[in-house]
Structures are given as C-alpha cells and as structure tokens.
A and B are shown apart, each in its own frame.
Chain A
Amino acid sequence: MSDTYVLILLCAVVTYIVRSGGYVLMSYFGTVNHRVEAGLNAVPIAVLSALVAPTVLNGEWPDAVALIFVCLLSLRLSMLPTIALGVVFLVLLRQYA
C-alpha cells in the first residue's frame, strides 16, 4: 500500500475515534469535568487559528487583506457567500493592486 493510502486510512481512523469517543467516554464516566469541557470547546478555535495565523504574515499583502476581509464578512454572512466573496475580492486585489 502506498504512503498516500496509509495516510488516508489513518485520517479516517482518527476521525472515527473522535466521532465515537464522546459516546464511549460518556458511557464510562457519565459526566465531564468543567475544565475538560472548556478545553474541548476551545479545540477548534485554538488549533484552527494556530493553523491559519502564519498565512496572514507570510504571503503577499493581498492574501492578508483578503483573509481579514473574510473574517469581517463572516460576522454577517453565512459561510458559503463569505468564502465566495472573499475569493472574488482576492482575485481583484491580485489583478489590480
């Protein structure tokens, strides 16, 4: 099996563990400590923002401006129109700025 398929299957396993893990934990322990719960709630915010942060400082300036534009838009619009407008905005910036 090639490396790519190993990676795909491992990602599938990790995703499955996450999707079944909460049920397994709950049926063993019943409740979760408030700190653990707060930590769990923070996981997507913390990791995703850590993932994106360097993109803002590392790329060309239109990239950074477009990303900030998208963040502001997403306060008002739902995800799909936000990203669509963000991509259009980025293309225009790269073209004319």
Chain B
Amino acid sequence: MVPVASAIAPYSAVFGALAVDQGMTLTELLVTSGSIYAVASQYVMLDLWVQGVPIWSVLLAVLAVNFRHVLYSAASVRWLAGFSTWQKVLAFFLLIDPQYATCEARHKRRPITPRYYFTYALCIYAVWMISNLTGAVFGQLLGDVSRFGLDLMLPMFFATLVISFRQTSGFAVILITSVAVSLISYFTIGAPWHITLGGISGILIAALRSRPAPATQGKDAQHV
C-alpha cells in the first residue's frame, strides 16, 4: 500500500502543477482527476486540450492510452464473482494499474472481497486527489514550468511507457511501423492524423503477425 501510494503521489502532484500551468482552473483540475482517475488519459487530454485538437481525436487518444484496461477488466472476471452488480459498476471505475496488480496477486492466495477491494481503492483514490491538489497549489509558486524542462515531460512519460511494453511480442515491428507511418502522415496530411494513422497501422501489423499458438503471449509490463 505505502509503495503504491508513494509511486502515485508524484504523478498526481506533477499533473496538478502542469495542468494549472497550462491554464486549467482548480475546479476543472479536480473534476478531471476525480472523474477520469487515470494518469495517462489525463496527460494526453491536457496535452491535446492545450493544442486545441478536435474533441474526437482527443477521445481517440484517451481511448488508446488506456486501452490496456480492457485486458484488466477481462481478467477481473475471475475475481469479481462475489460482487453485486452495483459493486461491479463502481469497481470498474476504480480499476487502475496498481489496483489490478494487487488484486491479481492477492487472488492467488485468497478471494477478493468487496470490502478489501474498496478499502484499498479508497486509500489510493484519497492519496491521488490530495497530492493532485497539493501539486496544483504549490506548482503555482514555481511559475513557468517550461523553465525547468517540464514541457517535455509528457513526451518523456509516453516514451518510457512505450519502452515498458518491450516484452510484448513483435514490439520492434509495431514500434517501427507506427513511428514511420506517424512521421509520414505528420509531414504530409498533418496533425492530428499522425496519431490515428500511426496507431492503427501498428495495431494492424500486430494482428496480422499474430500466430494462433497462445502458449507464450507477450505480457504487459508493470507500470503506473
């Protein structure tokens, strides 16, 4: 619990500081973090919101960065059996990376009870919101964050996320395809098409290369 909380707090605090710096109001920030509750989604949303990209492509990017959660909720079928429908509805909202990882690990030893699930989730959620607010308030004292090289923090964050998936089968092929198509579209058709076209080509390549023997499928790397 403590390591998870201390891993989440900095992301949340930095997001708070960055969002306020990019022109979000405190209320908008708290609504964002409270209702989306996904660090990658929020960074992408903020980044594209500032650039004034059309809503549909923001949504597509948000869908993309959080897509791994489809696999989490698919896996959760195994341990959500004891939950009522409304408990499930709430449980999905709270199904973030550390929540999933913890439940998956605990499930090997004992069943996941709603009480366990929601106590754990509530603690992480509280840490998340408090550090978010702290970051926003103290971030304003720092002034212009680009002075500290924080303007490139989002691309760096995305790049490390990509590298963290390097165990996935066909990683290099997917990466090279997406980057190449992205660059070509960026310099011909222009933004924001590079995200959609680059992304879709990488996904297609992965699907086409796939072989039916599922014995050693690539596993998602651990990250926040």
A interface list, Cβ under 8 A from B: 4-12, 14-16, 18-27, 32, 34-55, 57-59, 63, 66-67, 70-71, 74-75, 79-80, 82-83, 86-88, 90-91, 94
Contact = CB atoms under 8 A, between A and B. Distances in A.
A39 B170 CA distance: 11
Interface stretch (B102-110, B122-130, B135-143, B197-205): B197-205
Interface of B: 7, 10, 24, 28, 31-32, 35-38, 41-42, 44-45, 49, 55, 58-59, 61-77, 80, 88-89, 92-93, 95, 148-150, 152-153, 155-166, 168-171, 174-175, 177-179, 181-183, 186, 191, 194-212, 214, 217-218, 220, 223-224
A78 to B, nearest CB: 9
Given A35-B208, A53-B194, A54-B186, 8 more contacts: A42-B174, A42-B205, A45-B178, A47-B65, A48-B162, A50-B198, A54-B191, A71-B163
B64 A48 contact: yes
A32 B7 CA distance: 33
A54 B184 CA distance: 10
Contact of B93 (A19, A74, A88): A19
A40 B220 CA distance: 11
Nearest to A3: B55
A18 B69 CA distance: 6
A50 B165 CA distance: 15
Contacts of B210: 34-35, 37-39
A6 B49 CA distance: 12
Contacts of B76: 22-23
B186 to A, nearest CB: 4
